[in-house]
Structure 1
Amino acid sequence: MKKHLFLVLTSILVLLLAACGGTGSGDGGEKKQQFLTIATASSGGTYYPIGVGMGNLWTEKLQGEGIKATGQSSAGSVENIDLLRKGEAQLAILQGLIGAQAVAGSGNFEGNAYEDLRSISMLWPNVEHFLMMNDKVSTGTISDIEGTTFSVGPQASGTEQSTLVMMEGINLTKENIKPEYLGYDDTVSAMRDGRLDGGSVPAGIPVAAVMDMYASGVDATVLEVTDEQLEAINNVYNTWYRFVIPAGTYPNVDKDINTIAQPNFLGVTKELDEETVYQLTKTLYENLDFMYGVHDSAKDMTLETALDGLPAPLHAGAYKYFKEKGLEIPENLIPPEAK
């Protein structure tokens, strides 16, 4: 009798444990943990804080999905493509130009196209800031970099690549300057110390390093881009557009700055599963107020501009979300996986 009772109680206990579920990834249990790395750029620009902010958002809101995401600094867009290829990052913030080159197998990716690159969303415009010490300024435009000691950005970065394309558009090469390869904060520090005449610092406004330049009294300015220069640059790669930095954006700057911009976008490897990317996209757009508090540049993120300027097809997960929201998806952005 006691043996029979013991067997009955044991059976009941097993059934109860099965009903409660475990900690694995089976039916009824917790989701399998996913650790996602978001490649960004150097810490003095805009990519890094926005990447970290997205990681924090996803980790907080998608705990139940087992997702933990972290923004990591890098050398920028060109390296980020390599990190995606190697599986060392699952997502990356990328400059529009670099994404276009990677998809086409041109520029830095000549003969080495990255066919697995997919887009999630346009994030914000990448605003060109060509900084120059005032004693080197003559026309007030980007042509003034000729003959100066000028930082084109870290080697292999998106900054370097876009800067060289812009220089090509105005008939300049590295031979026309004394090139340095510095990050944003180091560029301004070197200018302050008299070791550098200027540098290229593209990012969403306001750029922390440029804020520091003006606030700390460095005798320098942001050079402007004329309509003729914009047209010439777009004859090399048609990806830039007019952008006006409003007066008051930077300390002690009481007039508009006429420059240009290109889109920044969130890229992803197509290998990341559809449901995960769907949840990431949905969570991002349902929590824009959170992102607006991360950085002023994030305030340019809207559902209406999500597809603007994307150089790679959407990931199937992002495609699913945007279709649900009623967006009209251009043919070139429909993922091959969905056709």
Structure 2
Amino acid sequence: MKKSLLLFLVALTLVLSGCIERREFITIATASAGGTYYPIGVGLGNLWTEILVEDNVKGTGQSSAGSVENIQLLKNEEAKVAILQGLIGAQAYEGRGGNFEGRPYKDLRSISMLWSNVEHFVLMDKEIDTGTISDIDGKSFSVGPQASGTEQSTIVIMEGLGLTKKDITPEYLGYDDTISAMRDGRLDGGSLPAGVPVSSIMDMAASGVKASVLDVTDEQLDSINSIFNTWFRFVIPAGTYTGIDKEINTIAQPNFLATTAEMDADLVYKLTKAIYENLDKVHQIHNSATEIQLESALNGLPTPLHIGAYKYFVEAGLDIPEHLVPPEAAEGQQ
């Protein structure tokens, strides 16, 4: 009887170990727990775990230092999926600018745009001439904290305007400090990219600071994208901010879901499909997640799609721009 029990326990152990081996763990690199990346990453992990239960998928959000570290986590195979800022993804893929100069990461792949990081260039009304972002020339202007994603994106945008930090009096302030300095008359303006609405800009308007959010022209957008092609048109509706009763024609870059070319194509197909065929659940994850829509899934993506995501979007009827077609798709057609 003891022998039979022992054989049963051995068989049970083998069965259980087989189940464990078949489980597909998806670690999603995000950012600090206090931001938007983390709750959306956790939410997507929970969604995949729920929807792909028959595929034994277990999704887990992982906090990190943000986009730059997330690239390294993907490279080191410490995360299978990551949320990245569009510009950081572009710099990593192309190997120029920021932390990636001379080290292109050509295996980086996009899965989907998630939500928009909307550019808000604010400037005191008395300093406005054309009403566009070129008006920051010669002004005291906060480009964001040093070494932040805000600073990096602001510098690229300025480069698209033919400007450098030498053309302004740069400050390196956070969002609330930028508005405080403007209110005190110590600063003309600043760059505050974020999802709409930005709380510090709502505070700016509510506290009577005489300032506006500047427009971006089509020509300026094209010039900026000639440096890194990751921005797209974004219109902030009139009335979003108190005292600004007209549409604001600005631009945005994506916060996007990324992986590597080595990720299994069938698995990425299922992950992508789970998102877009369960949008009611996705939109409950976070306010910013309500922006996840099929029609905007390709906006501003800086790297080719993963072949699995590409397959899903083709089936869903999206027109895939040439620069987003993965090399693997072309190879499969030969």
Q: TM-score, normalised by structure 1?
A: 0.77
Identify which range, 47-56 or 241-250, moves more after superposition: 47-56
1:100 matched to 2:90: yes
Residue of structure 2 in register with 1:302 after alignment: 293
| Structure 2, gaps ≥5 residues long | none
* In structure 2, C-alpha distance between the alignment counterparts of 1:227 and 1:322, rounded to whole Å: 27
Q: Relative to 1, partners in 2 of residues 1:197 and 1:247: Cα closer, same or farther, differing over 3 Å? A: same
Greater Rg, structure 1 or structure 2? 1
* In structure 1, C-alpha distance between the alignment counterparts of 2:33 and 2:135, rounded to whole Å: 26
Secondary structure, counterpart of 1:250 in structure 2: coil
Deviation, 1:38, is: 2.3
What is the percentage of aligned positions where both structures have the same residue? Answer: 63
Letter of the 1:153 partner, please give it: G
Q: Relative to 1, partners in 2 of residues 1:236 and 1:15: Cα closer, same or farther, differing over 3 Å? A: closer
Deviation, 1:158, is: 3.6
Letter of the 1:206 partner, please give it: P
Letter of the 2:284 partner, please give it: G
Deviation, 1:173, is: 0.7
* In structure 1, C-alpha distance between the alignment counterparts of 2:149 and 2:258, rounded to whole Å: 14
* In structure 1, C-alpha distance between the alignment counterparts of 2:72 and 2:21, rounded to whole Å: 32
The count of residues paired between Structure 1 and Structure 2 equals 328
Q: Relative to 1, partners in 2 of residues 1:181 and 1:300: Cα closer, same or farther, differing over 3 Å? A: same
Match runs of 1:315-330 below 5 Å: 315-323=306-314, 325=316, 327=318, 329=320
* In structure 1, C-alpha distance between the alignment counterparts of 2:159 and 2:67, rounded to whole Å: 19
Letter of the 1:81 partner, please give it: I
Residue of structure 1 in register with 2:153 after alignment: 162
* In structure 1, C-alpha distance between the alignment counterparts of 2:114 and 2:251, rounded to whole Å: 16
Letter of the 1:104 partner, please give it: E
CA RMSD of aligned residues (A): 3.7
Q: TM-score, normalised by structure 2?
A: 0.78
Deviation, 1:193, is: 6.0
Q: Relative to 1, partners in 2 of residues 1:144 and 1:120: Cα closer, same or farther, differing over 3 Å? A: same
1:195-224 C-alpha deviation (Å, 9 max, x unpaired):
544321223322344334334544432122
8 Å contact kept, 2:143–2:172: yes
1:127-177 C-alpha deviation (Å, 9 max, x unpaired):
211122445444432223233332223444443232112212222211122
1:248 matched to 2:247: no
1:48-89 C-alpha deviation (Å, 9 max, x unpaired):
554454345345555673523225363x54454344334454
1:118 matched to 2:109: yes
Letter of the 1:258 partner, please give it: N
* In structure 1, C-alpha distance between the alignment counterparts of 2:320 and 2:225, rounded to whole Å: 25
Secondary structure, counterpart of 2:28 in structure 1: strand
Residue of structure 1 in register with 2:260 after alignment: 269
Q: Relative to 1, partners in 2 of residues 1:103 and 1:193: Cα closer, same or farther, differing over 3 Å? A: same
Letter of the 2:122 partner, please give it: L
* In structure 1, C-alpha distance between the alignment counterparts of 2:37 and 2:309, rounded to whole Å: 20
8 Å contact kept, 1:78–1:158: no
Runs of 4+ in 1 over 6 A off after TM superposition: none
Which among 22, 35, 57 is matched to residue 47 of structure 2? 57
